[in-house]
Chain A
């Protein structure tokens, strides 16, 4: 994928990234009591990198979201989710019973912790979804010459 010839498109795309990502966080924050949440937020977050890749070229976008950053993020998001679930379990509740994280029986406190736990797992969902969406895009849109290099490295690894 080559970058577009238009300077305006390239510039606007670059400058849009922080706003898209901020909006993603806004959508994430609303998942609890309105439309939105970790999945939607994650997709919007990843779309900022997709836009960079489309407007400024595959390499530009991939440098902003490199594989060595995204690959560990893929399981990390799920780990946040599972970790919170297990933390609730260790705190004496059922798996994913966030209220138990409060460590007290006061319903008001439990309700607060329920919200914290919910936001926590939504963050986990967002991390994995955004990393997965960006990875899917960049792996599938990989230009032929990059693909050729990857294949060569793979074959050398096979021989080794």
Chain B
């Protein structure tokens, strides 16, 4: 069975997604949780196996027994094993968390459908991450996008329909750009398997000067930047996160945009190659650096003036994706390590924060920031969770967020990009401003808000695991060697 794991981690959630509508309402939630637990266990096993391999090698799985480049190949190396573990872990925790929340926020007849689509989206995101074929990547991207539109549009208010629709328009635009990029690549190289395209580039380096290849890379960059809501292409994100049902917000915010960022890493480093970034189209690298830095500053700045907690967190996500992209723009070992750490760190912190927003929606029926008043007295554990996750967002030492910023700063110095340091500091300052506003309301407000008691343990426990991860990842040397190995493998 061990040899079949790369296929099984995708097939099991996919299979469960199809069984859920047939299983009926009672068995549905158990099936979701079980499938995602199995997928998570499989991904952890893959992570361990990928690290046991010698450097430069990967676990390869040929679907249907057709070897690449003819068939589709799943490839697990150190980088995507890290992302897969994050994805399946968060998906499992959200599955545990969402039972009570969806029961309140989704119409009862639609709940099984919601679970089914949720699993499909998890399978789609994991498929994007695991595949070694650019066209297969596009197919999984469409699966993950279409399901995301549905999951957003199922929000309680009518505005959710509009939010889902505007994401649909912009997301389809992004997907089309990616497809055009794939088309250009195929036209120039005649193959779709990532390893095979890279081999063509190694054989014919003059291709780097071809305008077809440059256009392809530009299409990939713009398309994926739209999908990952990289400033200034973030227009769809605040509405989508704010109007979606709480469980969707937690899962989307913790995983979805990062998977697009991973896809950009994969395309840039594995398909086009490091040399292309350095010599082929340096202007894209500079553009990404500028976009990432402006995202890092503008995101938290916009978040400060929001009154809705979910919208505030969405704008903070606009800033956080900048950290994930910054490593690509710096492209040295420390910068990449910082960005790869952020795959886990941000998933834990933002997942935890959206769980707090979900808890507000569950207990108070609103996600207004003002509803946080008195949270520390009425729901101390959830308030603690808010505190820890907010500290991690700011980058307080001993939390996970600090490690990200530390390594990104080191990477920036190494690359001679001094301007990045004040950007990082300013961003931490702005983040501290909105984080302090939340904490001040939660702990020091005089009167009590609408939250009467803490959420049930079935919601509290999974969210506390995310909060604990913010601390553990910051202190224990768990993620660091994994991220460093992934960074070294890429360069």
Chain A interface residues (CB < 8 Å from chain B): 71-72, 74-76, 78-79, 82, 85-86, 89, 93-100, 154, 157-158, 160
Q: Which residues of B contact A71 (CB under 8 A)?
A: 21
User: Which residue in B11, B61, B107 is a CB contact (below 8 Å) of A85?
Assistant: B11
* A79/B61 in contact, CB under 8 A: no
Say how far B43's CB is from chain A's closest CB, in angstroms: 17
Looking at chain A's contact residues, the main secondary structure is: helix
Q: What sequence of 0s and 1s flags, for each residue 12-43 of chain B, a beta carbon within 8 Å of any chain A beta carbon?
A: 00110011011000000000000000000000
Interface stretch, picked from B62-70, B78-86, B139-147, B409-417, is B62-70
Q: Given A82-B11, A154-B107, is A94 in contact with B19 using a C-beta cutoff of 8 Å?
A: no
Instruction: Assess whether A75 is in contact with B11, with CB atoms less than 8 Å apart.
Output: no
Question: With A and B bound together, what is the CA distance between A98 and B64 in angstroms?
Answer: 7
Q: Is the CB of A79 within 8 A of B19?
A: yes
* A–B pairs, 11, beta carbons within 8 Å: A75-B22, A82-B15, A89-B8, A94-B7, A94-B62, A95-B7, A95-B64, A96-B65, A100-B65, A154-B107, A158-B107
Contact A94 B61 (CB under 8 A): yes
Asked whether, in the complex, the Cβ of A96 is within 8 Å of the Cβ of B18, the reply is no
Complex contact A94–B22 (CB within 8 A): no
* Min distance, Cβ A125 to any Cβ of chain B, angstroms: 14
The reply to whether B18 and A97 form a contact with Cβ atoms under 8 Å apart is no
Q: List 19 additional A-B contacts (Cβ < 8 Å) besides A94-B64, A157-B107.
A: A71-B21, A72-B22, A75-B116, A78-B18, A79-B18, A82-B11, A82-B15, A82-B18, A85-B11, A86-B15, A89-B4, A89-B8, A94-B61, A94-B62, A95-B8, A95-B11, A97-B64, A100-B65, A160-B108
Would you list which residues of chain B between 418 and 439 have a CB under 8 Å from chain A? none
Q: Which residues of A contact B56 (CB under 8 A)?
A: none
Q: Is B54 an interface residue when CB atoms closer than 8 A count as contact?
A: no
Q: Are the C-beta atoms of B18 and A94 separated by less than 8 Å?
A: no
Interface residues in B, total, Cβ within 8 A: 19
In the complex, which residues of chain A have a beta carbon less than 8 angstroms from the beta carbon of B11? 82, 85-86, 95
In chain B, positions 42-69 with a C-beta closer than 8 Å to chain A are 61-65
Name the A residues within 8 Å of B477 (CB-CB): none
Contact B107 A95 (CB under 8 A): no
- Please report the C-alpha to C-alpha distance between residue A72 and residue B8 in the assembled complex, in whole angstroms: 24
Contact present for A95 and B21 (CB under 8 Å)? no
Bound complex: CA A76 to CA B15 (Å): 11
Task: Contact check, A157 vs B109: say whether CB atoms are below 8 A apart.
Answer: yes
Q: B residues within 8 A CB of A158? A: 107-108
Which residues of B are found within 8 Å of A72, using beta-carbon distances?
A: 21-22
Contact of A75 among B18, B63, B65, B107 (CB under 8 A): B18
Q: In the complex, how many angstroms separate the beta carbon of B490 from the nearest chain A beta carbon?
A: 27
On chain A, the residues within 8 Å of B15 by CB distance are 79, 82, 86
Complex CA distance for A158 and B110, rounded to whole angstroms: 10
Contact residues in B for A93 (Cβ distance below 8 Å): 65
**What's the nearest-Cβ distance from chain A to residue B382, in Å?**
28
Interface residues of B in 95-148 (CB under 8 A from A): 107-109, 116
With beta carbons under 8 angstroms apart, the residue of A78, A96, A160 that contacts B63 is A96
- Which of A79, A82, A94 has the most chain B CB within a 10 Å cutoff? A94
Q: A83 — nearest CB in chain B belongs to which residue?
A: B15
Chain B contacts of A74 at CB under 8 A? 21
Nearest CB of B to A155, in Å: 10
**A79 nearest in chain B by CB position:** B18
Residues in A with CB closer than 8 Å to B108 are: 157-158, 160
Task: Tell me the complex Cα distance, A100–B62, Å.
Answer: 14
Q: Which of B7, B18, B63, B109 has the most CB of A within 10 A?
A: B18
Contact B107 A82 (CB under 8 A): no
On chain B, the residues within 8 Å of A86 by CB distance are 11, 15
* Complex Cα–Cα for A146 and B116 (A): 27
B residues near A97, Cβ cutoff 8 Å: 64-65
Residues in A with CB closer than 8 Å to B19 are 75, 79
Q: How far is the CA of A131 from the CA of B108 in the complex (A)?
A: 24
Q: CA A94 – CA B15 in complex, angstroms?
A: 17
- Return chain B residues, CB-CB under 8 Å to A160: 108
Chain A residues, Cβ within 8 Å of B107: 154, 157-158
| Contact residues in B for A96 (Cβ distance below 8 Å) | 63-65
Rounded to whole angstroms, the CA-CA distance of A72 and B109 in the bound complex is: 15
Residue pair B7, A89 in contact (C-beta under 8 Å): yes
Min distance, Cβ B139 to any Cβ of chain A, angstroms: 14
Question: What's the nearest-Cβ distance from chain B to residue A118, in Å?
Answer: 10
Q: Roughly how many angstroms separate A160 CA and B361 CA in the complex, as a whole number?
A: 21
Complex Cα gap A85–B61 (Å): 14
Q: Chain B nearest CB: distance from A112 CB in Å?
A: 16
Determine the chain B residues whose CB is within 8 A of the CB of A76 once the complex forms: 22
Q: How far is the CA of A98 from the CA of B442 in the complex (A)?
A: 59
